[in-house]
Amino acid sequence: MPILPPDDDEAVPGYLRALGLPGAIDLHVHFLPDRVLHKVWRYFDRAEPLLGVRWPITYRWAQPARLAHLRSLGVLRFPALVYPHKPGMARWLNDWALEFAAATPDCLPSATFFPEPDAVGYLADALRRGAVVVKSHLQVGGYDPRDPLLDGVWALLAAHRVPVVCHCGRGPEEGAHTGVGPIGEVLARHPDLRLVVAHLGMPDYANFLDLARRYQHVYLDTTMAFTDFAERIAPFPPELVPLLDVLAGRIVLGSDFPNIPYPYAHQVAALHRLGLGPDWLRAVLHDNAARLLADVAAG
């Protein structure tokens, strides 16, 4: 009997069970301090002139309801990805994220950074406190990943094998240091860095898939890719689908929950309709992220 993609959120847990999975691991989830989250939501509320399409937040709910819904979907582990847009923010965001994870057993402890003199120090402290995922947002932060103030940060992350979920692609809005070039130079200096390219590098899919072929520790998360919404603004080239199969071991689930303009089930269904089969789906929805996180634990 064929496995059918979920047509609504209630169907997601059954879909995961049909694949033989205990649940999903989503490496691109945001829980933020309320005042920060509301600013993020206001950004998306104003996104239509930039994108040409509306971006309604599907899960504009209070934090307890968002947590309960994520669990009801069968998501076993997720980070609370925080990210600064100016100096002086990262340290207190890290404190918030680590405290949130300590109070939320299924939340992966996470941290972030900004190019500033104390970045290595506060990030090392976050790793000592258990952070296993780090977020870098080059577009919102507006910083150059090649900044000398970050050399020690990248080296620290590489040494500890901690994955960094990095928004380095040019979508939905191009930044001064987005695109494959700047982060590619960082990888040339730190080839052991566990880089997770957010949004599959949207819209530069081909360049970021090539980056993953050149560096064995580069992963790509699926956040928003292949969905009807993303296909309207940054369609994924059909001729690149076979590369997703070639890189089956280094594609991981990401969703951008709760800041998505469609139900969570649609992201899962979009992955299913690629037609790459149950083994690929099991790897993407759970196994690849589990292995990546186990490598951190082993370190």
- Please answer whether residues 220 and 209 qualify as being in contact, where contact means their C-beta atoms are separated by less than 8 angstroms: yes
Count of CB atoms situated within 10 Å of the CB of 64: 8
- The 10s digit of each residue's pLDDT in 165-215 is 999 999 988 889 999 999 999 999 999 999 999 999 999 999 999 999 999
Instruction: Give every CB contact of residue 270 below 8 A, 6+ residues apart in sequence.
Output: 225, 226, 227, 228
Within a 13 Å sphere around the CA of 267, how many CA atoms are in the beta-carbon half?
26
Give 299's pLDDT tier (boundaries 50, 70, 90): low
Domain boundaries, the chain: 25-298
Residues 66-116 have pLDDT tens digits of 999 999 999 999 999 999 999 999 999 999 999 999 999 999 999 999 999
- Residue 226 near residue 270, CB atoms below 8 Å: yes
Element (H, E) at 20: none
Q: What's the one-letter identity of residue 89?
A: M
Which is nearest to 221 in space by CA: 78, 56, 123? Answer: 78
Q: How many CA atoms lie within 13 A of 182 on its CB side?
A: 22
Q: What are the φ and ψ backbone dihedral angles of 250, each rounded to 5 degrees?
A: -130, 25
Q: What is the token pair recorded at 54?
A: 């509306």
Residue 51 has a pLDDT of: 85
**Mean per-residue pLDDT, 218-244:** 98
Predicted confidence band at 131 (pLDDT cuts at 50, 70, 90)?
very high
DSSP per-residue letters across 265-285: HHHHHHHHTT---HHHHHIII
pLDDT at residue 185, rounded to an integer: 98
CA neighbor of 299 nearest in space, from 161, 166, 202: 161
- CA dihedral of 279, 224, 73, 135, whole degrees rounded to 10: 100
Domain 25-298: give its CATH code: 3.20.20.140
